Structure 1
């Protein structure tokens, strides 16, 4: 398989407190046509890791050490201009909360077309046809290109975000909790759509989630993060069937079964005092 992304010893700190690590010594890889899920609770460093890959960390944060190799090149050292050529074209990203990620005063067709204009220099009828095709691919009628975000449902807005992220057929897609706040039926549709697009385009997908149920559905590999560090990683079936770390075991205990008969256990952090890393 072709390796798209390799992160090695990534450490992110606040500029004002360089001794405090928000992400610490994170390392993993992603291959073309595969999905790696990063799972963990809020504040575990999942989104920060993804934003570092995109070069979108806040000005208050810094990449203190480590490397981010994309297609063999360390993009952690890339300039702003170089990253601008990669974002949207070679690496797409679906951000959380599509209503706040979409501009409310611009039509969704215009917003989908922005990266096509920027990276592929499409215009006029060619641009319009490409936008219509992208909307069809994500299950939205092409005429909705003239709609504004508030005229679409939550699921439709998420599909628009997907259309924007795949517009230039990137080699890699980062999906940051793309099913948050969607009902179960729409969530299943979005997950299937993403998996189908990944397979058709042979994309590598980095999928961020809290939900081990989602991980079981779509992941090839899983990375479990806690307090900015990776506590467990490996092929998805190995991690799901034989979790080694107490935190991974606790997260799996929080997943309900299909019949609703399994007692759900709150996460017990007692293991933190036992010296388990």
Structure 2
């Protein structure tokens, strides 16, 4: 395995309030062919961390420190033109909401084809054949290339997003909660599809989720975030079997068991006060 992504001490703040740390000193690594899951509740900084890799942060936000190394290159220092050569080609991304990420007035085939034309120069028959192949890879009949997003189900739209993200066979795939709003059966199908594609293409995958069930199914390593900071990280086996941080333990207590016998506990933040009290003034 070779190191694909290395984030060191990433800090993100609002430009209008630089003292407010939205992401604070985040560091993580990802190897080719492996899956790292970032897990945490809403507002913990998961998506901001992912968007910073692609330099897609809102203009109101700023990366104030940190280094993002991708395939040995500091991509945080690249120009917009250089980044456009990477986005979609060497790094693919699946965004949270396929209905809002897809253009409703363009066919899904056209939208998949844009990436292939821009990055690979495909057109004509070769382009149509590649679009058909990608749709079939993600389990959608090739003739649906002429469909509009509103003619597809939520699961089908998510598969179209996956087809777009893998079109150029990227080295890194970022999946930001790819199973949001899908039913349990479709969630399992999407996760299995992502894992199969990752193995086939030897991609590294950075997957963002709220769900430790997803982590257990697909991850090699896990990063737990809370209030913009990494509170625990390690192999999925080590973290799930022997969590060290109170927040990780609290998240795991929220996961139901298969028999439905385990009592679910709301997250108790009493431990946060204990940690604050232990820090010298």
Query: Given the two structures, how large is their TM-score scaled by the length of structure 2?
Result: 0.98
Counterpart of 1:177 in structure 2 is 177
1:167 aligns with 2:167: yes
Counterpart of 1:23 in structure 2 is 23
**Residues of 1 paired with 2:72 and 2:20: CA distance?**
29
Per the TM alignment, residue 20 of structure 1 is displaced from its structure 2 partner at its CA by: 1.0
5+ residue gaps, structure 2: none
Counterpart of 2:82 in structure 1 is 82
Which residues in structure 2 correspond to 1:5-154 (within 5 Å)? 5-154=5-154
Q: C-alpha offsets along residues 113-150 of structure 1, whole Å, 9 cap, x if unaligned?
A: 11100000000000000000000000000000000000
User: 2:62 is paired with a residue of what secondary structure?
Assistant: strand
User: 2:139 is paired with a residue of what secondary structure?
Assistant: coil
**Residues of 2 paired with 1:238 and 1:249: CA distance?**
13
Counterpart of 1:212 in structure 2 is 212
The CA RMSD measured in Å over matched residues stands at 0.7
**Residues of 1 paired with 2:226 and 2:210: CA distance?**
12
Q: C-alpha offsets along residues 50-79 of structure 1, whole Å, 9 cap, x if unaligned?
A: 000011000000000000000001111111
Per the TM alignment, residue 7 of structure 1 is displaced from its structure 2 partner at its CA by: 0.1
Counterpart of 1:242 in structure 2 is 242
Q: C-alpha offsets along residues 135-167 of structure 1, whole Å, 9 cap, x if unaligned?
A: 000000000000000000000000000000000
Aligned residues between the structures: 277
Counterpart of 1:274 in structure 2 is 274
Counterpart of 1:203 in structure 2 is 203
Query: Given the two structures, how large is their TM-score scaled by the length of structure 1?
Result: 0.99
User: 1:64 is paired with a residue of what secondary structure?
Assistant: strand
**Residues of 1 paired with 2:13 and 2:64: CA distance?**
6
**Residues of 1 paired with 2:242 and 2:159: CA distance?**
35
User: 2:17 is paired with a residue of what secondary structure?
Assistant: coil
User: 2:65 is paired with a residue of what secondary structure?
Assistant: strand
Per the TM alignment, residue 19 of structure 1 is displaced from its structure 2 partner at its CA by: 1.2
Per the TM alignment, residue 261 of structure 1 is displaced from its structure 2 partner at its CA by: 1.0
**Residues of 1 paired with 2:2 and 2:88: CA distance?**
20
**Residues of 2 paired with 1:144 and 1:3: CA distance?**
37
**Residues of 2 paired with 1:142 and 1:275: CA distance?**
55
User: 2:19 is paired with a residue of what secondary structure?
Assistant: coil
**Residues of 1 paired with 2:25 and 2:138: CA distance?**
37
Per the TM alignment, residue 275 of structure 1 is displaced from its structure 2 partner at its CA by: 1.5
**Residues of 2 paired with 1:273 and 1:123: CA distance?**
60
**Residues of 2 paired with 1:213 and 1:264: CA distance?**
14
5+ residue gaps, structure 1: none
